[in-house]
Structure 1
Amino acid sequence: MAKGQRKEASTIEYCYRAVGSILRAASQLATPSLRLQSGTSAALGVEKKRKRIEKELALTRT
Protein backbone atom coordinates (compact mmCIF):
# COMPACT_ATOMS: atom_id res chain seq x y z
CA MET A 1 0.00 0.00 0.00
CA ALA A 2 1.35 3.42 -0.91
CA LYS A 3 2.33 5.76 1.89
CA GLY A 4 -0.46 8.25 1.07
CA GLN A 5 -3.10 5.53 1.02
CA ARG A 6 -1.94 4.17 4.37
CA LYS A 7 -2.08 7.61 5.94
CA GLU A 8 -5.60 8.12 4.58
CA ALA A 9 -6.67 4.71 5.89
CA SER A 10 -5.25 5.44 9.34
CA THR A 11 -7.06 8.80 9.41
CA ILE A 12 -10.37 7.13 8.54
CA GLU A 13 -9.73 4.46 11.17
CA TYR A 14 -8.97 7.16 13.75
CA CYS A 15 -12.21 8.97 12.93
CA TYR A 16 -14.26 5.77 13.21
CA ARG A 17 -12.63 5.02 16.55
CA ALA A 18 -13.32 8.53 17.83
CA VAL A 19 -16.97 8.42 16.78
CA GLY A 20 -17.33 4.95 18.28
CA SER A 21 -15.95 6.07 21.62
CA ILE A 22 -18.24 9.13 21.64
CA LEU A 23 -21.28 6.95 20.93
CA ARG A 24 -20.19 4.43 23.57
CA ALA A 25 -19.89 7.21 26.15
CA ALA A 26 -23.30 8.59 25.16
CA SER A 27 -24.93 5.18 25.56
CA GLN A 28 -23.36 4.81 29.02
CA LEU A 29 -24.64 8.23 30.06
CA ALA A 30 -28.20 7.25 29.20
CA THR A 31 -29.42 5.76 32.47
CA PRO A 32 -32.23 3.19 32.56
CA SER A 33 -34.61 5.82 33.96
CA LEU A 34 -33.77 8.12 31.05
CA ARG A 35 -34.49 5.29 28.63
CA LEU A 36 -37.88 4.75 30.24
CA GLN A 37 -38.66 8.47 30.17
CA SER A 38 -37.73 8.92 26.52
CA GLY A 39 -40.23 6.37 25.27
CA THR A 40 -38.28 5.97 22.03
CA SER A 41 -35.22 4.40 23.65
CA ALA A 42 -32.74 6.84 22.18
CA ALA A 43 -29.99 5.01 24.02
CA LEU A 44 -30.74 1.83 22.11
CA GLY A 45 -30.49 3.77 18.85
CA VAL A 46 -27.08 5.07 19.92
CA GLU A 47 -26.00 1.52 20.75
CA LYS A 48 -27.08 0.27 17.31
CA LYS A 49 -25.13 3.07 15.61
CA ARG A 50 -22.06 2.28 17.70
CA LYS A 51 -22.20 -1.39 16.74
CA ARG A 52 -22.65 -0.51 13.06
CA ILE A 53 -19.63 1.81 13.14
CA GLU A 54 -17.53 -0.83 14.89
CA LYS A 55 -18.53 -3.32 12.20
CA GLU A 56 -17.57 -0.85 9.45
CA LEU A 57 -14.27 -0.22 11.19
CA ALA A 58 -13.56 -3.94 11.28
CA LEU A 59 -14.22 -4.10 7.52
CA THR A 60 -11.83 -1.22 6.81
CA ARG A 61 -9.05 -3.00 8.71
CA THR A 62 -9.13 -6.01 6.40
Structure 2
Amino acid sequence: MVQLKYRGVDYDTTQRPDLSDQPVEHVYRGIHFNKAPRHEADALSDHPVRVSYRGAVYETRIASALKR
Protein backbone atom coordinates (compact mmCIF):
# COMPACT_ATOMS: atom_id res chain seq x y z
CA MET A 1 0.00 0.00 0.00
CA VAL A 2 1.27 3.45 -0.93
CA GLN A 3 -0.11 6.38 0.98
CA LEU A 4 -0.29 9.53 -1.13
CA LYS A 5 -1.20 13.01 0.00
CA TYR A 6 -2.49 15.84 -2.21
CA ARG A 7 -3.16 19.24 -0.65
CA GLY A 8 -3.60 17.67 2.76
CA VAL A 9 -5.92 14.87 1.60
CA ASP A 10 -4.69 11.29 2.02
CA TYR A 11 -5.20 8.82 -0.83
CA ASP A 12 -4.95 5.05 -0.48
CA THR A 13 -3.71 3.52 -3.75
CA THR A 14 -5.25 0.13 -2.95
CA GLN A 15 -8.73 1.68 -3.25
CA ARG A 16 -8.37 2.66 -6.92
CA PRO A 17 -11.14 1.39 -9.18
CA ASP A 18 -10.08 -0.58 -12.25
CA LEU A 19 -10.24 1.40 -15.47
CA SER A 20 -13.02 0.48 -17.85
CA ASP A 21 -12.57 -1.11 -21.28
CA GLN A 22 -15.68 0.71 -22.55
CA PRO A 23 -15.02 3.65 -24.93
CA VAL A 24 -15.61 7.11 -23.47
CA GLU A 25 -16.07 10.18 -25.65
CA HIS A 26 -14.02 13.13 -24.45
CA VAL A 27 -12.37 16.31 -25.75
CA TYR A 28 -8.77 17.32 -25.08
CA ARG A 29 -7.51 20.64 -26.42
CA GLY A 30 -10.26 20.71 -29.02
CA ILE A 31 -9.60 17.19 -30.34
CA HIS A 32 -12.39 14.62 -29.92
CA PHE A 33 -11.45 11.14 -28.72
CA ASN A 34 -13.54 8.01 -28.31
CA LYS A 35 -11.31 5.48 -26.53
CA ALA A 36 -11.46 3.38 -23.41
CA PRO A 37 -9.60 4.76 -20.38
CA ARG A 38 -7.57 1.55 -20.37
CA HIS A 39 -6.16 0.65 -23.78
CA GLU A 40 -3.02 -0.78 -25.32
CA ALA A 41 -0.46 1.57 -26.77
CA ASP A 42 -0.49 2.04 -30.53
CA ALA A 43 2.13 0.14 -32.49
CA LEU A 44 5.25 2.11 -33.40
CA SER A 45 5.62 3.15 -37.00
CA ASP A 46 8.57 4.01 -39.25
CA HIS A 47 6.53 6.84 -40.76
CA PRO A 48 7.81 10.26 -39.75
CA VAL A 49 5.82 12.19 -37.18
CA ARG A 50 5.67 15.94 -37.67
CA VAL A 51 5.69 17.87 -34.40
CA SER A 52 5.45 21.64 -34.02
CA TYR A 53 6.71 23.17 -30.77
CA ARG A 54 6.89 26.92 -30.16
CA GLY A 55 7.23 27.68 -33.85
CA ALA A 56 9.89 25.04 -34.58
CA VAL A 57 8.94 21.99 -36.65
CA TYR A 58 10.50 18.62 -35.93
CA GLU A 59 10.19 15.32 -37.80
CA THR A 60 10.79 12.24 -35.70
CA ARG A 61 11.07 8.58 -36.55
CA ILE A 62 10.16 6.92 -33.27
CA ALA A 63 10.82 3.29 -34.21
CA SER A 64 14.26 3.97 -35.69
CA ALA A 65 15.23 6.06 -32.66
CA LEU A 66 14.36 3.18 -30.33
CA LYS A 67 16.52 0.74 -32.32
CA ARG A 68 19.68 2.77 -31.64
TM-score range, shorter chain: under 0.3
Report which structure shows greater RCO (CA 8 Å, sep ≥6): 1
| Structure richer in strand, relative to its length | 2
Bigger Cα Rg: 2
Per the normalisation by structure 2, the TM-score is: 0.21
Per the normalisation by structure 1, the TM-score is: 0.22
| Structure richer in helix, relative to its length | 1
